[in-house]
A and B are shown apart, each in its own frame.
Chain A
Amino acid sequence: MTPGTRPRRIADGLMRFAMRITPADQIDWARAMRSEMNHVEGDWAALRWAISGASALARRAVVRAIFPRDGGRGEFAGKDLIVKEGSLMRKTTLAAAGACIVASLLFFLAPAFRQAFQVSLTQWRDIIHVTSRAGQPDLASLARRAEQQRDPEGLAFVAIHEFDPVDSARRAEEAVHLDPDLTWVYAVVAIRQSEFSESDEWIAQLEKWDPQNALPYLIAAERIDGHEVAYAGAVHKSVPFRMDQRSAVWQDDLAAAFQSAKLDRYLDRLTELERRVLSRYGIDDPYVADLSDSMGYGWRGLPSYAAGDSWSYAQSLVKSGEALEAQGDKKGALEKYGAVTRFANMLGWPDGFFMSSTTQVAYARLAAISLEDGNTVEAGFYSDLAARTGEARRAQFAAFRQPVIGGAVSRWNASVVKTSGLMMLVFSALALICVLSVSAKSLLIGAIRASRAASTILVGSVVGMLLSCAMLYVSYRPYAEMFRSYVRDGDVSRIQDLSDFLAYTRLPIGVHDFGHVSYFVFDFWFGITTLCAIGLMFALYWYFASRPQTSPAI
């Protein structure tokens, strides 16, 4: 009876393969299974026979490879048959579990996976540390190396990413002292750490170093805003908003900003500095670079009050222009409107959104004056710019209202990474408990049979652990690649995705926005404390309930 059909040929191939890996002392049984297959009725039944038999033989071969044979036992006892069955079962379980654990550990050999694991743990940072400013161990190590080498760029990098304002200021000054070309770092650090007392001196140095730039004036204006907001809060008054309420110094700063020839936020310099330092110090972890803070999320290189201040001042300029027009001073009015439109162009989009309606009015007035002067070409040009500004505002407004697709993808991937990391920890803990349980049972009851439930949970846990590792690696891998191409090639096209992703990984699982993190931290610790208190009450109850009753004194 020669196997002729395809299923039988496959079945025969399977059995031949199984025979090849079967231990020598069991080869007769493999032959028996194969020869018996020729008598199985039906081609598919023969294939099922082969699959089942070959699997059993392969399982035994694997077990034999991992647990070398312990030699023959003594004579048979009825119990021994059962012991063998249980023992084989236990060995198979342990072999499968061991293979999964080894495979999971192999993931840690990949640097991208180690980063992914660290990133997945970031969500606990705000929960474990009471303040978010705690714990920048990698940055501290970089700072030490930069200080030892007296590397101005390294120090500037640390100053930019340092949470502590005093250390940040000290390192920024040291960096600029070593290399005055890094004076722009003052602007970046002053914007990030708005409560600096050094800012006044830094602004003066910035104005001297880059006199055509509007940025130092916007930083100075923001400092005044900060003082005014703090003062208004302290004396329970409203924050000054109208132009006649604003201080002369603030108005001078805004006037200087609007008259400046350029608005350089130093983002290109910052990107280059970041890349050089990351490459020089061999940093391949985006969290050390802290891109979630510096390059992407919420960071556009401007003081947070800049858009509002510009809008406020632009309105005052347009009003002044209208007043001058009414007095017949067209030249003066043109200067005012021109200052508004020029500054709006320097701000660009979306930062220019706030003052866009004022910009549109300025263009419209410029068009009207040109028309009055009989310059129809210029009037048409300004009218067109006014219309385009209106369209751009509407488009930007619609964009603000629509969900950001890139952000949603990053949020989803961040959730997968956080969940995978958490599941890895849960499955590892479960597997450890099961291993201890199985080992304890083996020792206690003579290896008769590990609890079937424990074995099942063990296998489930290690398989879950392996799958979690794979999921974590696959989800994080594209972001590791984005970071690498940013450092290596300066590719910033995907840096916003990376930045969004890193920012979302900071959110604990179940928290959907940054405003709720503090509530979550409170709820988390409140829950833990409550559970501990309940546990303590149960323990006390159990202690007093089980204590022997003493009879009252006679």
Chain B
Amino acid sequence: MKTPRRSPQTLRVLEQFIERPGAWRYGYDLSRETGLKSGTLYPLLMRLAKHSLLETKWVVTEDGVPLRHMYRLTAQGLALARTSAKEVRTRLNARRPALSGGAA
């Protein structure tokens, strides 16, 4: 069975969500924390939402300011994020001895 390749940007976003699972996040905050531009971040969020990995809501922050969009991973999204994080860690661990010249 093939393991799907995930883009580093997707993994970076998922990683941010795992840090505070269950917390609602703003797009601008995610952009700053991941270093992704809006043109990269939002298409990712759109795809996550489309596949029910992400839930969204509009909130009022203060008077006179337009509504703000917030995001949170669904249970399914959280599961995928954790699996992905584990896979990445496993892969990094597997590479480390090779990078350091192999076991002594």
Distance of A34 Cα from B58 Cα, bound (Å)? 13
- B48: chain A residues within 8 A (beta carbon): 81
CB distance from B1 to the nearest CB of A (A): 10
Docked complex: B7-26 residues within 8 A CB-CB of A: 7, 10, 26
Q: 30 A-B pairs, CB-CB below 8 angstroms?
A: A26-B46, A28-B56, A29-B42, A29-B45, A32-B42, A34-B66, A36-B38, A48-B37, A49-B38, A51-B39, A52-B38, A52-B39, A53-B38, A55-B39, A56-B39, A56-B40, A76-B52, A76-B76, A78-B80, A78-B83, A80-B51, A81-B4, A81-B6, A81-B47, A81-B48, A81-B51, A84-B47, A85-B7, A85-B10, A85-B47
Question: Is A40 in the interface zone, CB < 8 Å from B?
Answer: yes
- Of B2, B53, B56, B69, the residue contacting A36 (CB under 8 A) is B69
A15-26 near B? 1/0 per residue, CB < 8 Å: 000000000001
Distance of A136 Cα from B38 Cα, bound (Å)? 60
- Is B43 a contact of A60 with CB atoms below 8 Å? yes
Question: Is B75 in the interface zone, CB < 8 Å from A?
Answer: no
Docked complex: B45-104 residues within 8 A CB-CB of A: 45-48, 50-53, 56, 64-69, 76, 80, 83
Interface of A is mostly: helix
- Is B68 a contact of A56 with CB atoms below 8 Å? no
- A79: chain B residues within 8 A (beta carbon): 2, 4
- B27: chain A residues within 8 A (beta carbon): 32-33, 36
- A82: chain B residues within 8 A (beta carbon): 4-7
Distance of A51 Cα from B5 Cα, bound (Å)? 29
A30-45 near B? 1/0 per residue, CB < 8 Å: 0111111111100000
- B65: chain A residues within 8 A (beta carbon): 1, 38
- B5: chain A residues within 8 A (beta carbon): 82, 449
CB distance from A328 to the nearest CB of B (A): 103
CB distance from A16 to the nearest CB of B (A): 13
- B10: chain A residues within 8 A (beta carbon): 81, 85
Distance of A60 Cα from B43 Cα, bound (Å)? 9
Distance of A1 Cα from B66 Cα, bound (Å)? 9
Distance of A85 Cα from B13 Cα, bound (Å)? 15
Distance of A55 Cα from B65 Cα, bound (Å)? 25
Distance of A1 Cα from B64 Cα, bound (Å)? 7
- A31: chain B residues within 8 A (beta carbon): 69
Distance of A82 Cα from B40 Cα, bound (Å)? 15
- Is A35 a contact of B37 with CB atoms below 8 Å? no
Distance of A449 Cα from B43 Cα, bound (Å)? 18
Task: Give the interface size class of chain A.
Answer: 20 to 34
Q: Knowing A49-B38, A56-B38, A85-B7 touch, does A36 contact B26 (C-beta < 8 A)?
A: yes
Task: Give the interface size class of chain B.
Answer: 20 to 34
Q: What is B's interface to A at a CB cutoff of 8 Å?
A: 2, 4-7, 10, 26-28, 31, 37-40, 42-43, 45-48, 50-53, 56, 64-69, 76, 80, 83
A44-80 near B? 1/0 per residue, CB < 8 Å: 0000111111111000100000000000000010111
- Is A36 a contact of B4 with CB atoms below 8 Å? no
Distance of A37 Cα from B68 Cα, bound (Å)? 10
**18 additional contacts, CB 8 Å, given A37-B38, A53-B38, A81-B4?**
A28-B69, A31-B69, A32-B27, A33-B27, A36-B28, A39-B68, A40-B28, A49-B28, A52-B38, A52-B39, A53-B39, A54-B39, A56-B40, A56-B42, A76-B51, A81-B47, A81-B53, A85-B47
- Of A29, A36, A40, the residue contacting B68 (CB under 8 A) is A36
- Of B40, B46, B66, the residue contacting A35 (CB under 8 A) is B66
CB distance from B25 to the nearest CB of A (A): 11
CB distance from B91 to the nearest CB of A (A): 16
Distance of A82 Cα from B28 Cα, bound (Å)? 24
- Is A39 a contact of B6 with CB atoms below 8 Å? no
CB distance from A477 to the nearest CB of B (A): 38
- B42: chain A residues within 8 A (beta carbon): 29, 32-33, 53, 56
CB distance from A140 to the nearest CB of B (A): 58
- A35: chain B residues within 8 A (beta carbon): 66-69
Distance of A54 Cα from B39 Cα, bound (Å)? 7
Distance of A80 Cα from B68 Cα, bound (Å)? 29
- Is A32 a contact of B47 with CB atoms below 8 Å? no
- Is B46 a contact of A76 with CB atoms below 8 Å? no
- B76: chain A residues within 8 A (beta carbon): 76
- A34: chain B residues within 8 A (beta carbon): 66
CB distance from A413 to the nearest CB of B (A): 42
Residue of B nearest to A54 (CB): B39
Smallest CB-CB A-B distances: 6 pairs:
A52-B39, A32-B69, A56-B39, A76-B51, A53-B38, A52-B37
Distance of A29 Cα from B54 Cα, bound (Å)? 13
- Is A52 a contact of B43 with CB atoms below 8 Å? no
CB distance from A243 to the nearest CB of B (A): 88
